[in-house]
Structure 1
């Protein structure tokens, strides 16, 4: 169920007392347009840098994405549980790795993904890659002086 806090509390009073519920904020997810724009820029940047797209993407997540530091048993292969991560350290006494885990772009909400896109635009602009959006391109076309 979704609703305002007082509506949810009233609903929960009537709900099954043996069940456990999780409450979380509903956030706007990223749009398909945002996604296409990001991956288009990523492809151009990877080509310019002559690097695999996967490496450029991980670099963008490191620099502009959302991360969390966790402690993991050092016998557990991190790649089995995390897609994007860096080993940040090791605690030999506790036999644990300190791992910085990055949220994948498909898991980001609209605000998080916007930050990633802004970072990608900065990186592309620094490499001389044109990153104008279709809206910006349309504005530039209409702003051109009449040359008759």
Structure 2
């Protein structure tokens, strides 16, 4: 079960065990009762971040398409280039994820046009069996997994690229209004 809440109280029992009281406006009594019957839980507490808005996603793809059209390349190619410059590294258990592929033109082309995974080449190239060279790539998080902060960074980078190419973007004040409206939606959700 996953939910948004606030820490209401932190304390210790007489025998020294830590107690944390979490308040959640979204969890109903039935869900809470279900949790109370569980003997042991895996618990992770982290700062809440709202997911990005669909408006931000639509704006990103509109601009990415304009860049792809201007450069006469595919949208997946542009998306991968943008993720390499402004994206986030995939992290599992606190460690970046790396993959090794043959250092060939066909492998590079596959990586550049990939839609279901996103890789960033590194400068690390090593020989393998049969004299084939292998390049190490960093795995990147797909933008569909980005929170608001990460998506904002990606869009800011894309807007910068568009301005350099003379591609029209929305005025900064309009973008601010869009983000302010999105921020109000977040406040309403967290106040419930």
TM-score (norm: length of structure 2): 0.55
8 Å contact kept, 2:89–2:141:
yes
Structure 2 unaligned regions, length at least 5: 11-19, 23-35, 91-95, 102-110, 128-134, 176-192
Deviation, structure 1 residue 17: 4.0
Between the two structures, name the one with larger relative contact order (CA 8 Å, sep ≥ 6).
Answer: 1
Structure 1 unaligned regions, length at least 5: 138-148
For residues 15 and 112 of structure 1, the distance between their equivalents in structure 2, rounded to whole angstroms, comes to 37
For residues 64-102 of structure 1, the C-alpha deviation after alignment (integer angstroms, 9 at most, x for no partner) is 11114335588xxxx9xx71113533678xxxx854111
Aligned to 2:152: 114
Q: How does 1:78-89 map to 2 (within 5 A)?
A: 83-88=117-122, 89=124
Counterpart of 2:47 (choices 25, 29, 38) is 25
Describe the shift of the 1:127–1:35 C-alpha distance in structure 2 as closer, same or farther (beyond 3 A): same
Counterpart of 1:132 (choices 167, 170, 173) is 170
Q: CA RMSD in A?
A: 3.3
Q: What secondary structure sits across from 2:97 in the alignment?
A: strand
Aligned to 1:57: 79
TM-score (norm: length of structure 1): 0.69
For residues 67 and 99 of structure 2, the distance between their equivalents in structure 1, rounded to whole angstroms, comes to 33
Do residues 10 (structure 1) and 21 (structure 2) align? Answer: yes
8 Å contact kept, 1:45–1:129:
yes
For residues 18-62 of structure 1, the C-alpha deviation after alignment (integer angstroms, 9 at most, x for no partner) is 232222322111001101110000000000011100010000000
